[in-house]
Structure 1
């Protein structure tokens, strides 16, 4: 095991109203809107996921952000990786991180991951019902990296050998990726850094070798939607949705084939092993039925102990010495509408965080 694993929890900043969401979804919309409306869809289905210790917070408030950081530090989390949104100069959901920049009391290390996909009404970054569109150009790449350098200069920003660490979520969408990477490196060096430590999310759509397009590392995005165990096809889950679709006169179709057992999924991911130049990732749970009526993905019957087994395997078996830093990503800190959170909920309290702390602090 590494001397001291540095756990980085992915952080969603969509827990405060913004003008765009008010227009698209109704006044006052935040991530809590979908969370609070969720219903259990079958026997023993854990929904809704409702917050406990931190409550229904508003990330515009310093008190809410400080409470998150205090809890994370208490439980051994090294830092947050905030999703970052940039649409040709337009920023959204930037208030939590910008508030942090202005507040020295918020001292938890942080980094950014650019969620570089279209915003759509179906929450999947697809091409239908587009609300905000991503367009790419080297001119925009230059403006973007110059904006990012303002964050990189912060002493709390996570760096590797002086290089600010930055992740691109969907590199396949870039028309000239190598040119973008070269430009970013040039601009970062002009700003006084030795370079940028640039990574991407290794997913079903982009699994190329790290160095192919000029990246330094990857992290395995979890859940891995491509590699899944058998579904619970013969359970009450399928029967319920068949009856529901019949009553609503909807086609009984779901490309993710409904629901998977968390332990079976975990064991399959363990069997896959580790990719070269790729930081490992685990997910404590996943259930995005709060956001989606179709094409959802559910990891059913997760428990802190089942999660701890996966985390322990990664901590003990990952070849930490092959990477410059012992980073372990956890997806996620607070993806509540995807049923995916380390933050305490009313069912489990702090048990997922307690399990994380026990594994990371183990001698």
Structure 2
């Protein structure tokens, strides 16, 4: 089975971040501050803080991953009404080849941008529409087409993969997905459209899509406490859709702050127990399309959320192997869909398997080691 990792293209300067956070801001500012003030167990890339507006830095990331044995990246893709954002890596991919045998696909991160995750400011910085016209979809498809026609773009049964991060974002998800299918077909593309499942309610979208990724550790977090109450979450989700966007951001942020402790910490043993649980397996069986896992190598979003952080401990080699073997050995998961790890370089969430200045390359090696064929014990 192919092994990919989610790639985080944030690490370069853009105007919207300059205006919101100060000139030259990137996520490295958050990581550096957390390291400087010892707010967490330090993490940073072994190669130093890179700039993904530079051709050499992008090439180095691709070559490092390919040389280690990774098969490709699932790259977060940001597209709003006024066009793409944080798109330096995409511009690179339009001009330069990837390393031989190294592929990629896009994960459309279709949600608003705000400052809520740092300073409780819920003003919308970039707005993502909840309804799309055919013209908007056609413009997006025209942008995607050259990538999808590239030999390096990942295909499922000769169909380019395209993943929608939040199917719940749209007022009428079925209409939006159908518009994309029609516009892809009109341009001569037969695309396999998938989605990320982040809570149990997302299973309802599986009839609309060709495949599904179970997004960990977000699904794990949503199996905790009140978040696993399907009725309550359903009411809350419908309420948010009825509200003005900034009011919904405000409500969501304040409920999150009220409902959690100063911080939430989980051991990786906690995660493994959930990952192998009958409850999670039952949820997987409720999905009506082929399914694949997104694995986690730990999580700590202290750089973003400071004292309100959520943490999953970094796994030991044995724990990582147990998670990997369980996933590869469970026949509920499609062997045709690349396995994903969250993430190659999401440093500001403490979720990176890219070689680290403090942890070395142990997490990357753990992910790429061969797994046993009969792990379900």
Q: TM-score range by the shorter chain?
A: 0.7 to 0.9
**1:166 partnered with 2:162:** yes
Q: Which of 251, 263, 266 is equivalent to 1:260? A: 266
- Which of the pair is proportionally richer in helix? 2
2-structure distance, mates of 1:208, 1:56: 38
2-structure distance, mates of 1:116, 1:352: 29
Kept in 2: contact 1:284–1:304 (CA 8 A) = no
| Superposition map of 1:134-283 within 5 A | 134-135=128-129, 136-138=131-133, 139-193=135-189, 195-204=190-199, 206-209=201-204, 211-212=206-207, 214-223=208-217, 224=219, 225-228=221-224, 255-257=259-261, 258-271=264-277, 272-273=280-281, 274-275=284-285, 276=287, 277-283=290-296
1-structure distance, mates of 2:363, 2:260: 26
2-structure distance, mates of 1:326, 1:144: 24
Cα gap change, 1:326 to 1:179, in 2 (>3 Å): closer
Instruction: Compute the displacement of 1:324 (Å).
Output: 6.4
Instruction: Compute the displacement of 1:77 (Å).
Output: 1.4
Kept in 1: contact 2:297–2:314 (CA 8 A) = no
1-structure distance, mates of 2:61, 2:113: 26
Cα gap change, 1:296 to 1:254, in 2 (>3 Å): farther
Task: Show the counterpart of 1:249.
Answer: none
Deviations 1:165-206 (A, max 9, x none): 00111111112222222221122122222x210011101274
Task: Show the counterpart of 1:131.
Answer: 125
Kept in 2: contact 1:9–1:81 (CA 8 A) = yes
Instruction: Compute the displacement of 1:306 (Å).
Output: 2.2
SS in 2 for 1:82: strand
Q: TM-score, normalised by structure 2?
A: 0.80
- List gaps (5 residues or longer) in structure 1: 230-251
SS in 1 for 2:160: strand
Kept in 2: contact 1:40–1:46 (CA 8 A) = no
Q: TM-score, normalised by structure 1?
A: 0.83
Q: Which of 106, 109, 112 is equivalent to 1:112? A: 106
Cα gap change, 1:105 to 1:307, in 2 (>3 Å): closer
Deviations 1:144-170 (A, max 9, x none): 122222221212111112211001111
Task: Show the counterpart of 1:358.
Answer: 369
Kept in 1: contact 2:3–2:368 (CA 8 A) = no
The root-mean-square deviation of aligned C-alpha atoms, in Å, is 2.8
Task: Show the counterpart of 2:67.
Answer: 74
Deviations 1:93-122 (A, max 9, x none): 011121122012555211001111000102
Task: Show the counterpart of 2:252.
Answer: none
**1:51 partnered with 2:45:** yes
Instruction: Compute the displacement of 1:70 (Å).
Output: 2.0
Q: Which of 348, 351, 360 is equivalent to 1:349? A: 360
Aligned length: 331
Instruction: Compute the displacement of 1:308 (Å).
Output: 2.5
Kept in 2: contact 1:17–1:30 (CA 8 A) = yes
Cα gap change, 1:143 to 1:206, in 2 (>3 Å): farther
